[in-house]
Each structure stands twice: as structure tokens, then as C-alpha cells.
Chains A and B, each alone.
Chain A
Amino acid sequence: MNARDEFVLRLATKRGAKLRLSDSGYAELLLAVQEDPTKFMEDASDEAFLCIAQALRRYNESRSKDEFLDDADFMRERKRRLERMRQDCAQALELDPGCTDALLLEAIAQDSDLDALLDRLLEVEREASEKDGPLQAAGSGDAWDDVMVRPRLRVQATISRTCLDTGRFRMADAVGQSLIALSHSDHLGARHTCALALARLEDEEAFDALDAKFSRRGDCWLQLSRVILLFKLGRMAAARRALRGFRGLCEGGIYALLRPVMVDTYMPDRPQCDPYSFEEATVAIHEADPIIVDVPDLPQWVENQPDMREAAMSFAQRMGFDW
């Protein structure tokens, strides 16, 4: 979540709506807001959003030294960081009790068990829906274009991922698909969660429809999900082709699959990664973990396919990673 950009956009949108500006007038307003957003703050909801933007910046900055910490220090640091996030959310909520992003981040920062998180997120969405009505696409046909709606879309995306994490694959897909229907641009990557869920449900038809909906552009999640889907369906020749495709498109993908690493809780959404980058593969494989455990021999099968182990090892060597 790029909170600063969104903060600017929120302020400009609110001010622009009041001033009924032309397109060029709005463009000028936007530049002015970018220059100094605080000048355009109007009410407590803006203050709450600023508070959240600052909290996120602080949170992300505090993570920069994580890789140098040992496990115990990391856990201590993580606990402290989540505590701070909860405090910041509480402060934002004092300013604006309906601040959806604060409610979302607070729920995540509780670090509670995932069923409790899901309950809380569903409650947040229910309350938002009672207050502002059901989610619907903006005039443009894409809900993402309405910056004021984005926090609720983030809640939906988190619900979908939490469903996946708790083994609720049909629900993960249903929530993800409804999010895609609201926002075709799918900035939050609901399609990634859907792809994983449909692979796990061995639903080839729906998987293919999802792929077609996004013009078969593909990404690490989709490639990986296809390998898993075909492996599950026992179509081994096709699974091997899909695996070779994944290796070809994503350098380091096989390494990421064979040497999965822990990825910390998303706050609130998945990190931005370049398409088919090693980072994207790492994140996709982390998200796929609840599905990969369902095919326990998949990693071994991957490793036994021609050239796969070599590809992973040479990537590790090039990057200076352990094998």
C-alpha cells in the first residue's frame, strides 16, 4: 500500500469534488496537494489517514534491519513493532472511529489466530457496509478508481487471503472473484489468491476462465498454480511443461520453490514485486504454502525433473545463497 500517494489522492479528490474543477484544474490541484498535503487536510478522517500513513512508514522502516537479526531478536523486534502499530491504529481510531485502514491494520497487528482475524475482518466489512452501503464499482466501472473505497477493497483482499490460509478455498475464491468483479484492474492481486484456491480445488475450468479473464498475462502465482493443478490432476506431461514454463519465465522460481523462506505478515497487503522476479516467486511460494503441503511430494518431484535442481543450484550460486 502506497499510503502517501493515496493520502494525496484522497485530499485532492475531496477538495476537487467541492470545487467542481475541470480536468486541468484538478491536475493543478493534485500538484499542489503533492507539494504539501497537510495544507489540504480538512477533518479528523484526514488526520486519521495521515496517522496511518505515518504508522506504515514507521513500520516498514523498522523492518530494514530484520535480516541482520537472529531469530530471538527478530521475534522481539517484531512484537515491539506490532505493538507500536496497534498503538498507532488506536490513535487513528480516536480521530476517526470509522477509519477502515486503521481497523484493518489493527486487526492484522493483533497477530491473533487466523480464525479470529477472519472473524474480525468480516465484522469490519459488515460495519463498513452498514455505514456506507454495499461495495460497488465506481462510475468508471472500477471500484479502485474511487480512492475512498480502496480501504474496503483491501479488507476484502485480506479476507480472501485469510480464507486461503485457514483452508477455506472456495470462500477464498468467491471473495477474490467478487473483488475482481468490483475492480477489473485488480491492483490488490485478488486473482493470485483465486489461482491458488482453484488449483487446490482441482477446478481446471474455473482456473482457465480466470487465466482468460486476465488475457493470459500470467505471473508467478498463475504459473505455480498451474503446475500444482496439473500435478494434482495426474497430468504429468502437462505438469512438466508448466514447470519448465515457470522456470523459463521466473529466474530463481525453482530455487524459491525448493528452498521456501518465511515471509512476514502482510501489513496490510503483499509487497510490490516486479513481474516474474525472484521476490515475486518468493512471495507467491509463501502464499502457496497451505496448498503445497497438500501435495507433499511435489517439491521432490520438481527436484527430480531434468535440469530443475541444477537451475536452482546455479541460481543460488550466482546470488550467493545457501543451497
Chain B
Amino acid sequence: MSFDPNKEDYQRLGLRFAASLDGQDPQNVARSFASFGRTFARDRDSLPQTDQDRAFHLVAVAATTIDYELPFADDVRAKQLIRKGHQLLDEALQLDPTNVDAQRMKAAADIPSFEGYYDFLLDGVDSAREKSFKAAGQAAEAEPHGERARLARELALRPYLRWLSTLASKAIICGHNRQALATCQKVFELDPQDQADARFTAAIAYAKLEDEQGLEGLRRFGRKQTGLRSHDGDDAWLQIARISIAYKRHDLSTAESQLRALLGSYPFAAEAIVSQRELPDGVFARLAVPAFSEDELILAISECTVLIQEGRDRAGRGALGSWLIQAAHRIDPAGASRGLEQDSADNPKGGLSR
């Protein structure tokens, strides 16, 4: 599970709505709740909400605009979407200057360099922590007990989790792999269920550091988290990290059998492995896609670019990248050829399969 902004918006208002019904008779509560979904969709403004909730809603719309619509837009539309995203984030910050998601997302657009954005996230991590825990404290006052209290705390802390997860993933892009692992560790401590899927990022960092033991430890940790995913089995990030480590050990037969397993666990995997598309990272969070879907593999490959494109290689695909292409052709020639066609097709933006 990654963070779906619209679902989170729904959860926040649902919680607020439930609290507003406290003290009413149970039949009335049941009836009101039955209509909540429809009201949320059609007449959101009529629901009880705070400025923080309104700001989060704007963040959710901005996230949808930037992360889910922009990659599919033509140039004219893209400019409109970018402008719209900025406006939404500005409005969100006017309503709730402490909204750390909006702060983080705005900085992603405003700071052009990798290292600059990384420094921004690093410098702001304590402040993001403080704000989120303060919100969690306020939520605990309003909702002291039960399932609602748990959800309220979780929702309050998510912006901090996202901050940390983004920090970890940007650390890798900047080449700060040990810092990426230390940051992932913070995520795991705060959220042992790892809803943020920071372990995907950690897998890349372990592979970058060629730390096989660390990666196997992460694999054991990940196996405990499968309750959150649609079915068991290693995720694509972990699988690519293991392939990368076997390749780096020059154990090419193990690497090839692990690639075979990867191709068996995701649909249209050879295509994705051969075309190796690079997508812009989600600005709100890693894009929410179904577990073990083709899209998930495309996302994983894109994030693993830092592993795949490493090393000198004449074709410019990186040492592992070139090997993956050749090996995919050996294992699944038909799929790999289709990937090659996709790769050469006129598809400047790439993007997910949807």
C-alpha cells in the first residue's frame, strides 16, 4: 500500500463526520453514515471540516493533478496542470500554513537541484516531525480511545512518514545511501507495518551498498508485511535489488534465475525490463498502484534506475541495464521483443500502462 491522497481525504472527513455524530441515537448514526460516501462525492463542503481538512483536500487534488494527470498530458495541458497544482498548494498553505505535505510538494517544484531538494528535506525533517506529532496530540485529545483514535493518530503522522520516505528516496538519487538506510530505519520505527513502503527504497540502498546481509534482513522484515499487499512473494524492488547484487558478485546464473522469477511474478514483465522507462517520482508519494501489477513493476524499474544504469556501457543503458535486456531476451524472447518495440515507439513521456 502506498498513500492514496483521495482515500486519505475521505478517511479524514469520515473521521470528522463520525465524531460529529457522537451522542446521537444509533439508528440516526447508521442512516447518516450510509449517506456519507455520497455526500463526500457530491457536496463535500456541506460536511463538517476544519481548515486543516480543507487544506488536505487541496493537497489531494494537487497530488492527483501533478502525480496522476500531468504524466499523460500534452504540452499545453501540462502547463495548465502545473499552474493549477501550484495554485492548489498555495491555497492549501493559506488555509493551513503547517501543512507539511504542501510545503514539501511546493519545494519539489521550486528547488531545481537534487541536492538542494534533499537539503531542504533534511533541514525540515525535525519541523515536519514536530508538526505531525502536534497534530497527533490534538487528534488524541479529540479521539482518546478505540479504532477511531488509532486511525486519527495514523492520519496525523502520515505527512511525517511521507516526508521521511521522500527524504530516503531522494537520498539515494543524491548518492547518500547510508543516510537513505538510516532514514528508512526511522520510518520502520515509527510505522512497523511500513505503510509507506519505505522498504522498497531500503532495498535499493542495500543493493547500492552491495550489502547482501542487510538485504536479506530486509527481505525477512518484508515478509511480515505481506498482510498489506494482495499476495505473498517478494516485491519488484527487492527482486531487482537481489538481481543487482548477484550481478555485482558476478554470479550471473543466480542473477538470471532471479530474473526468471521476477518475470514470472509480474505481468508483461519482459516488456518492462527491456524498455526500462524512467518516470517522474510522485510528488505527493510513490504512486498508488495495485500490488504485483504491471504498473508496479514499471514504477520499481524506474526507481531502480540508479542501480540499472550504473557502470560504463556503450549503449547508455548501464552495465546491469544491458545485461537485463540481454537476459530478458533469452528468457522471454517474445515479450522482450515487444518491449523493444515499445522502447522505440514514439512515446516521449512514457508513463504507466493505464
Chain A residues proximal to chain B, CB less than 8 Å: 113-115, 118, 122, 163, 165-171, 201-202, 231-234, 289-290, 293-298, 300-301
In the A-B complex, the 9 residue pairs with the smallest Cβ-Cβ separation, listed nearest first, are A167-B311, A297-B115, A295-B175, A167-B310, A166-B319, A170-B210, A294-B175, A168-B248, A166-B311
> Is A297 within 8 A of B114, CB to CB?
yes
Mark out the residues of chain B between 323 and 346 whose CB falls within 8 Å of any chain A CB in the assembled complex: 323
Q: A171 CA to B251 CA in the complex, in Å? A: 11
Chain A interface, >50% SS class: helix
Chain B residues proximal to chain A, CB less than 8 Å: 113-116, 122, 173-179, 208-210, 247-250, 306, 310-314, 318-320, 322-323
Known: A297-B174, A301-B115. A165 touches B248 (CB 8 A): no
> Is B323 within 8 A of A171, CB to CB?
no
Contacts of B320 in A (CB 8 A): 167
A263 to chain B, nearest CB (A): 12
Listed A/B pairs (18) with beta-carbon separation below 8 Å: A115-B322, A115-B323, A122-B250, A166-B319, A167-B311, A168-B249, A168-B311, A170-B210, A171-B248, A201-B209, A202-B178, A202-B209, A233-B179, A289-B312, A290-B312, A297-B174, A300-B113, A300-B115
Known: A201-B209, A202-B177, A233-B176. A290 touches B248 (CB 8 A): no
A164 to chain B, nearest CB (A): 8
A224 to chain B, nearest CB (A): 14
A108 to chain B, nearest CB (A): 14
> Is A167 within 8 A of B248, CB to CB?
yes
Contacts of A293 in B (CB 8 A): 310
Contacts of B116 in A (CB 8 A): 297
> Is A233 within 8 A of B178, CB to CB?
yes
> Is A114 within 8 A of B113, CB to CB?
no
Contacts of A114 in B (CB 8 A): 311-313, 319
Among the interface residues B208, B249, B310, B322, which one has the most CB atoms of the partner chain A within 10 A?
B310
> Is A294 within 8 A of B310, CB to CB?
yes
Q: A233 CA to B122 CA in the complex, in Å? A: 13
> Is A297 within 8 A of B310, CB to CB?
no
Q: A99 CA to B318 CA in the complex, in Å? A: 33
Contacts of B318 in A (CB 8 A): 167
Not counting A113-B314, A115-B319, A294-B175, a sample of 15 additional A-B residue pairs whose C-beta atoms are within 8 angstroms of each other reads: A114-B311, A122-B250, A167-B310, A168-B247, A169-B210, A169-B248, A170-B248, A201-B209, A202-B178, A233-B178, A233-B179, A295-B175, A296-B114, A297-B113, A301-B115
Q: A115 CA to B176 CA in the complex, in Å? A: 27
A122 to chain B, nearest CB (A): 8
B107 to chain A, nearest CB (A): 16
A118 to chain B, nearest CB (A): 7
Contacts of A233 in B (CB 8 A): 176, 178-179
> Is B209 within 8 A of A171, CB to CB?
no
Contacts of A122 in B (CB 8 A): 250
Q: A232 CA to B177 CA in the complex, in Å? A: 7
Name the residue on A nearest B321 (C-beta).
Answer: A167
Q: A291 CA to B164 CA in the complex, in Å? A: 26
> Is B176 within 8 A of A234, CB to CB?
yes
A266 to chain B, nearest CB (A): 13
